Amino acid sequence: MAVKAGSILTVGGNNVIDRIQSAGLGDVRVPIETIREVGNYLVVDKIPGEPDFTFTMESLDVSTDMMALLTGKIGALASGSAPGAADAAGTVYRWEDCRYVNIVSPWKDQETGSAGVIEAGHLIPGYYPTRMRYRFGVTDNASQEVELGGGSFYYAGGGRAPVEDFATGDGTQTAFVTSDPTVRHRLGGADGTTFRNVFGVIVGGQLMSEGADYTVTGGNGSPATITFLVAPAAGALVRYAYFTTAAKAYPQTVHASTVVKPGAVRGRNIKIYLGAGGARQRLSSVQAFELEATIDTEVEREMGSEEVVGRSVNGTDCSGSITVRARDSDAFIALLSKITGVAPNEVFGFFNSKSIPLEVAIENPKNPGEILKTLYVEDAQFQQPGTPARVNSPTDFSLRFESINGTYQEIKGARV
């Protein structure tokens, strides 16, 4: 019997991530260096290099849950509340505020029916967001895709479930105990004689290094104790992941109700605006929209550790495109005037130095008066479109834009 996608959950921030269409690691081949020596035709050894893996999730969810997770918020698995559920309408999530996260993927025992128990799982610890992409189309389901980067991943079976624990620092507490017994991982493979019991230890959104920031005692069939050399600051979220032999139930309800959150949103409920204040105008004849944000990072490692111990953030960037099917030439010229600031009766050149606010409002299909979330680029600079004329086809103009400061905001509800 195959492992079916319907039996695999993706959990982040203590809540099932909704409307997942695909989720998984990309190329997981560890680079191998071949060692040779003078005077010998044979290979001396093959040494594993330093991996940098990518985990990608695509979701039809148009709430702010994903960005809340990436910026350090958590929910509650038992109640089904998502990360950021308690945040007020108008809360702003900024791309540059993303933090390290752990992803837990429990697998259901398919022999136990719809309720089920967790029989195995996948753990993706200490990954950092590197790319977010939004795609909207006239007749397409709105989707968002996030890419995370990290240096390790783990599997376990035989009823061993992956879990993530959470605690809050008080400025004095240094020791934190796992809620359940842990299962150890043998470092270096079958011949290794040292072990690890917890993974992805994160404090205040920063990845910690075992031995340098904390030590672990116990575990291997009993709860493990994580002892920090410096007590986490008061209010700092402490999180850590592990596998356990404790029986864990597979949630029967894995997705938020469509009464609370739509199954999907199409273009008819997505509006795009240009400008600010009373000059702010809705852009008509839009066929497609795409926004991609990236974080340029450099992997940090240290001697004495096989895992990534951090990432240096070199900078963020944000760009995208709007595809417009202009009704006529006057409408096209009016659009050029809007994005460039040049008067309609002047000549438009290929260069544009003006930036303009760009806002995307996503409505609730069952109540269009309710804005689920808003994407906002305060300084979108557009390039002039080409003329992709094609026989027997309407002409769609693609307007590429760049954020001048290289970032964007995702807002819960309407932008105020």
Q: How do residues 240-290 score in pLDDT, each as one tens digit?
A: 999 999 998 877 667 788 778 899 999 999 999 999 887 899 999 999 999
Q: Please tell me the class of the 267-412 domain.
A: mainly beta
pLDDT of res. 114: 56
- Give the DSSP letter string of 245-307: -S--BPPS--S--TTTS-S---GGGEEEEESSGGG-EEPPSEEEEEEEEEEEEEEE--TT-SS
Q: For every one of its 416 residues, what pLDDT tens digit does the chain have, with 9 covering 90 and above?
A: 567 778 888 999 999 999 999 999 988 888 999 999 999 999 999 998 888 999 999 999 999 999 999 999 999 887 888 999 999 999 999 999 999 999 999 998 877 655 678 889 999 999 999 999 999 999 999 999 999 999 999 999 999 999 999 999 999 999 999 999 999 999 988 999 999 999 999 999 999 999 999 999 999 999 999 999 999 999 999 999 999 999 988 776 677 887 788 999 999 999 999 998 878 999 999 999 999 999 999 888 888 888 888 888 999 999 999 999 988 999 999 999 999 999 999 999 998 999 999 999 999 999 999 999 999 999 999 999 988 888 888 889 999 999 999 999 999 999 98
Q: Residue 254 has which token pair?
A: 């894995």
pTM: 0.92
pLDDT of res. 252: 66
pLDDT of res. 136: 97
Which residue, among 174, 181, 140, has the nearest Cα to 159 in the 3D structure?
181
CA 158 to mean position of chain CA atoms? 29
- How far, in Å, CA of 271 to CA of 414, rounded? 12
- Enter the DSSP assignment of 8: B
The residues spanned by each domain of the chain are 5-25+48-244, 267-412
